[in-house]
Structure 1
Amino acid sequence: MAKDKIAEILSDLTPAVKRELLDGLVKSLLSELIETEKKELLQKIVSGGRENRQMIDMVEH
């Protein structure tokens, strides 16, 4: 049920607001990691498998 509510809220946002939200979330999540963890996570996302490709595709839309 919470997933549906989040999806509904996100669908109402403009692409610019979605980018700003994503940027804030990523910065917040990365701030708690040490440098090597940040590099590993970002490398995994960039080079990643199917799930990461789906995330990249979602962000592009």
Structure 2
Amino acid sequence: MSIKNKYFSVEEANSFIPKLLIDIPRIQSLMKSLVCEYPDVRKAREKAQFNGGSLQGADYIN
């Protein structure tokens, strides 16, 4: 899968700011909840940069 770069004009980028101001704190809150409720999420996230994971795999999602 190839990743294509997307370039935005200043106007396009600025038009996304109001939505980002809502979405980013929401994503941060969800991540905090995941880490608190499922400690393996934190471990998997830390190892993900090295292509790792947790012993439970995705079992905690189901």
* Same fold at TM > 0.5: no
Structure of higher CA gyration radius: 2
TM interval, short-chain normalised = 0.3 to 0.5
Structure scoring higher RCO (CA < 8 A, sep ≥ 6) equals: 2
TM-score when normalising by structure 2: 0.40
| Larger relative helix fraction | 1
